Amino acid sequence: MHGTHSAGLSSWQLVMLALGTVVGGSFFLGTAVVLHNAGPGALLAFAFGGIVTYLVLTALSELTVSRPTHGSFRAYAAMAFGPMASFVVGWLYWAGLVLALSSEGIASAMFARLWFPAVPVWPIALAVIIAVTLLNLMDVRAFAVVESAMAAVKLVAIAAFILLGVALATGLMAPGAGAGGPGTGPAFAGQPFLPRGVAGLAGSMLLVLFSYAGFETLGLAAPEAKDPARTVPRAVIWTVIGLVTLYVGAVGVVLYLLPVGAIEEEVSPMVSLLRLTGYPALAAGLNLVVMTASISTMLAAMYGLSRMIYSLAEEGQAPAFLKQLTPPGIPRNAILLSSAGMTVGVVLSYVLPATVYVLLVSSAGFALLFSYLMILLSQLVLRNREGCRPGACAMPGFPWSTWVGILLLVGAIAGMPLVPGQGPGLVAGIGLLLFFALAYMLFIRRPEHNETDDRVPLK
């Protein structure tokens, strides 16, 4: 962004955009796997995830306020490590997130089949992708209103679940008719804190960080904020506080009221708890919330993906037609490419064997963790090389805090093989990284060109 948008996104809209991307189906459904791996230690895992989120977002905030640009962390990787790093990070992030979002589209369609059992999954998934695409083609302010509303539904639902759990735990609310499960807790009494030891905790970190994934959209949207130097740091703090409070609160309620052994990995622990406490209607209502969560995540993430591809095209690292804007400043072709990528992902889920498709989607976890690692490495290099402008030095305890974040992310990547099925995903993710590095050397490599300031502002 060159200059400030007087009518740009506010801190609140940035927070809701970030939370809208983060709180997706992976949190509602993936928490069960985390609880099985880490037991009550899952609280520690989600706290660690909050620390990593804070460090990565703070580093991104510092870079964004000091060096406003459309490319966000891809552009900062270029400043720190050169154009090849920019190309690899940008395309790896795009490919990884497109694969992850195609699975979110399939998940939302599966939830919808509860109401439309006769309709196959694939046409519903394609209808969801079309709806998400059309909403992204709206003016940014109208888009922000829709996304904020959908994000609010998810956040209110989680907050209501936490309050219900507290009421059950304290006896303010009695279990419903037909309750066949937990009493008032604590269900974790007598259970080992880490039933599978440190390996279980380390193995669960990938899934936890995947539950937090998407917060980087805040950095991609930052150039469209009004007064980024003030709104972005404020949005970072509220995003982290909101995520940690909701995640730790919801997981804490489940652990207090529901024994880990009663949790099914294929069912959201929150749905299981509502059923066992005698509230099946609320459990059914939560299904609608989970579907909304998946669609909202796709909506906000496509926003970030299209901006990433647009910035790659600006640098000559993607086809030129992707930097064309509609009159309001919407990167239409970049949005349509991301939509096409999600559609291909849905088609692959039917064409490829299940094991191959799971391999592709699990590589998305590596792509996201690698992107977060590059954010911290870029901040470390650029701050050491160029210093920090007064008022823009957001990272407390630098450089040690940055190194803590780097080590936690390297540990999460190294721990991928500890999660069943994620070892091949690590190999596939590294394969994607090498593929894009080779593509750069074969097709893109050329003398770095000078940047200009005549870009059309995005909307």
Mean pLDDT of 18-36: 73
Q: What was the pLDDT predicted at 455? A: 44
Residue carrying the six token digits 């099914």: 264
Mean pLDDT of 22-29: 70
The model's pLDDT over 343-382, given as tens digits with 9 standing for 90+, comes to 888 888 777 766 666 676 677 888 888 999 999 999 999 9
Q: Are 132 and 299 in contact (CB under 8 A)?
A: yes
- 162: in domain: yes
* 133, pLDDT greater than 60: yes
- What tokens does 185 get? 């807790």
- Helices 197-212 and 400-414, axial angle in degrees (round to 10): 110
Q: What was the pLDDT predicted at 261? A: 73
SS3 82: coil
- 450: in domain: no
- 458: in domain: no
Q: Count other C-beta atoms under 10 Å from residue 248's C-beta.
A: 19
Check whether the bond before 186 is cis (ω within 30° of 0). yes
- 349: in domain: yes
Mean pLDDT of 285-310: 81
Q: Please name the helix (run of DSSP H) or strand (run of DSSP E) that holds residue 248, with its range, or none.
A: helix 228-257
Q: Are 428 and 378 in contact (CB under 8 A)?
A: no
Amino acid at 54: Y
Q: What was the pLDDT predicted at 302? A: 85
- 5: in domain: no
- What tokens does 370 get? 């690698």
- 238: in domain: yes
Q: What was the pLDDT predicted at 26? A: 67
Distance (Å, whole) CA 198 – CA 417:
14
Q: Count other C-beta atoms under 10 Å from residue 447's C-beta.
A: 5
Please list the alpha-helical segments (H only) found in 137-216.
140-170, 197-212
- What tokens does 275 get? 């059923």
- 457: in domain: no
Q: Mean pLDDT: which of 40-49, 66-75, 213-222, 260-269 is highest?
A: 40-49
**∠355-357-361 over CA atoms, to 5°?**
115
Of the candidates 296, 324, 316, 300, the residue with the CA atom closest to the CA atom of residue 90: 316
Distance (Å, whole) CA 167 – CA 365:
36
pLDDT grade, residue 282 (50/70/90)?
Answer: confident
pLDDT grade, residue 4 (50/70/90)?
Answer: very low
SS3 412: helix
* 402, pLDDT greater than 80: yes
Number of domains in the chain: 1
- What tokens does 307 get? 């901006």
What percent of the chain lies above the pLDDT cut of 70? 85
Q: What domain range is 187 assigned to?
A: 11-444
Lowest mean pLDDT: which of 190-199, 366-375, 392-401, 445-454?
A: 445-454
Distance (Å, whole) CA 404 – CA 397:
10
Longest dimension (CA), the chain: 71
SS3 38: helix
SS3 267: coil
Q: Are 411 and 65 in contact (CB under 8 A)?
A: no
HSE-up of residue 52 (Cα within 13 Å, Cβ side): 29
The model's pLDDT over 314-353, given as tens digits with 9 standing for 90+, comes to 888 888 888 888 777 788 898 999 999 888 888 887 777 6
Q: Are 99 and 80 in contact (CB under 8 A)?
A: no
- 66: in domain: yes
Q: Are 123 and 112 in contact (CB under 8 A)?
A: no
Q: What pTM was estimated for this model as a whole? A: 0.81
Mean pLDDT of 420-427: 78
* CATH number of the domain that residue 265 is part of: 1.20.1740.10
